[in-house]
Amino acid sequence: MAVKVDLPRKLALEVLLRFEKSGAERLKADSLIQDALAREQANLTEQDRGFVYALCMGTLRHWLRLDEWIKLLTARPLKNITPPVRVMLRLGLFQLYGLSHVPAYAAINTTVELAKAQKQAPKTVKFINAVLREAQRRLEAGGFEIPPVETDLPRYLLLTSGWPEVWARQLLERYTQQEILQMAEVSQVPVSLSIRVNTLKIAPNAYLDMLKQASIEANQVSDLPECIQISGLSGSPRQLPGYEEGLFYVQDPSSMWVSHLLDPQPGESVLDLCAAPGSKTTHMAALMQNQGAISAIEPKKDRLALLTENIDRLGVGNVTCLQADGLLFEPAASLYDKVLVDAPCSGSGTFRRHPEILLHLKKLNLDAYRKQQLSLLQKGFACLKPGGAMVYSTCSILKAENHDVVAQVLATCPDAALEKEEQRLINENADGFYAARILKMPV
């Protein structure tokens, strides 16, 4: 007799198993979830879809913390538990801890039924049931023991926020304990959706009126007039008014700040050395009022297609897309007035929106990123006119990817001058971001 298991939990298991098997691959949780939901679109309610999203994102956000609980509850190394069982235990534990609307009995029973449906051996099913019932008992008795923050901050952050210990130690080299704890606190709160109104097609106030007419709660950000933050939206942003018409682009406020720092003007020539998927490329085009020229560089064919799609949807007319390796790019004619190097990085400032990044930060190795970042920054500076300005940016909060990279270029380029540098921390409404504006002094 077939075991009946609810579809949302089954889909969540399928998605999360990909992260057990991914190796070094940088998977995107949101894309995997959307693919899973699309396969079962006819069989899922809107509530089901939201539940799948909550299960996957919540389990990923607390993945490392849940692993510590599993080790405490089972008194065995994780490697001695098979990947499907590890994921089912995480799913059950997250529901017990992180989803108050799911009763404890439901969290346990549905996980047990999921194990049966996965054809786990009876002794394994009993093992899962016993572990989750012991977790329930401990949580009801006050939870798991956590060391004092003063004596072991990395361990404290692992057990309270799911942050990798090696990453926390890196943060301690740059930030105060208070700054780190503030970021940890806000990172537990879901961030609101931020969109950039496409001023090539509509004024921010006019689009804000459209949202209000659709009974969507939204507020304009005071220091970024094209930025609107939306509360209480469930489901895809594509359901907002004007998506297909290109009236907006989903973008974090900190990301929008980068284009303003570069300050491209109508009529200028601009190089975007790391352009896809196009958030900053299309923002710069709007700031330039579609006047002047932007060269957008992207080496990967699939990402170039996404960049082109966003450019077309938003009505951008002053961008030329080039499939090329930014490190090998050579200007066809003259140098550029402005250059943007939004470099590949660890993504450590964006884990609230992309919690899967925490899994990559568990084994923090920045050498490959730093080498690429430095080379891209040097290439961007070589493409810049004397008297021009370049912005180097990352969505990282790690000094090694930010200040240290810029400092190395400044030390080796006598005509480079740092005009402004700012590290933005993770806060209530925005991701962590870094940007530096560098001038090329006339000889």
Preceding omega of 331 cis (within 30 degrees of 0): no
Task: Please give the structure tokens belonging to residue 123.
Answer: 């002794």
In the predicted model, what is the mean pLDDT of residues 315-329?
A: 95
Which of the four pLDDT bands, split at 50, 70 and 90, describes residue 27? confident
Are 200 and 283 in contact by the 8 Å Cβ rule? The answer is no
DSSP 424: E
Alpha-carbon distance 380 to 304, whole Å? 19
CATH 3.30.70.1170 in the chain: give the residue spans.
193-250
Q: How confident is the model over 349-366, as pLDDT tens digits?
A: 999 989 999 998 988 888
pLDDT score of 24 more than 60? no
With a pLDDT cut of 70, the percent of the chain lying above it is 98
The H or E element containing residue 63 is helix 63-74
Checking if the pLDDT of 230 tops 90, the result is yes
Alpha carbon distance, N-terminus to C-terminus of the chain: 81
Per-residue CA distances from 69 to 97, 145, 159, 186, 237 (Å): 11, 10, 9, 23, 35
Q: Which amino acid is at 100?
A: S
Q: How many CB atoms lie within 10 A of CB 139?
A: 15
pLDDT at residue 22 in the model: 64
Fold of 193-250: Alpha-Beta Plaits (3.30.70)
pLDDT of 332 reads 78
Decide if 393 contacts 342 (C-beta within 8 A): yes
Q: What local confidence, expressed as pLDDT, does residue 1 receive?
A: 42
In this structure, which amino acid lies at residue 194?
S
CA dihedral (285, 289, 290, 293) positive or negative: negative
In the chain, where does the domain assigned CATH 3.40.50.150 lie? Answer: 259-440
Cβ within 8 Å of residue 10, ≥6 positions away: 114, 117
pLDDT average, residue stretch 34-53 = 92
Percent of the chain residues past pLDDT 90, beyond the cut? 83
pLDDT digit string (tens) for 369-407? Answer: 999 999 999 999 999 999 999 999 999 999 999 999 999
pLDDT tens digits for range 185-228: 998 877 889 999 999 999 999 999 999 999 999 999 988 999 99
Are 362 and 391 contacting, i.e. CB atoms less than 8 angstroms apart?
A: no
The tokens for 199 are 């001023």
pLDDT tens digit string along 122-152?
Answer: 999 999 999 999 999 999 998 888 889 988 9
Q: Are 420 and 389 in contact (CB under 8 A)?
A: no
pLDDT in tens, 75-114: 889 999 999 999 999 999 999 998 889 999 999 999 999 9
288, 264 contact by CB (below 8 A): yes
What's the CATH code, domain 259-440?
Answer: 3.40.50.150
Report the catalytic residues: 395
pLDDT digits (tens, 9 = 90+) for 243-302: 999 999 999 999 999 999 999 999 999 999 999 999 999 999 999 999 999 999 999 999
- Residue holding tokens 């975007």? 272
Region 7-140: CATH code: 1.10.940.10
Q: How do beta strands 248-250 and 193-197 pair?
A: antiparallel
**How far apart are the C-alpha atoms of 262 and 257, rounded to whole Å?**
9
- Enter the tokens of residue 320: 């030329």
Mean pLDDT of the 61-86 span: 94
Which pLDDT belongs to residue 434?
98
CB 294 within 8 A of CB 281: yes
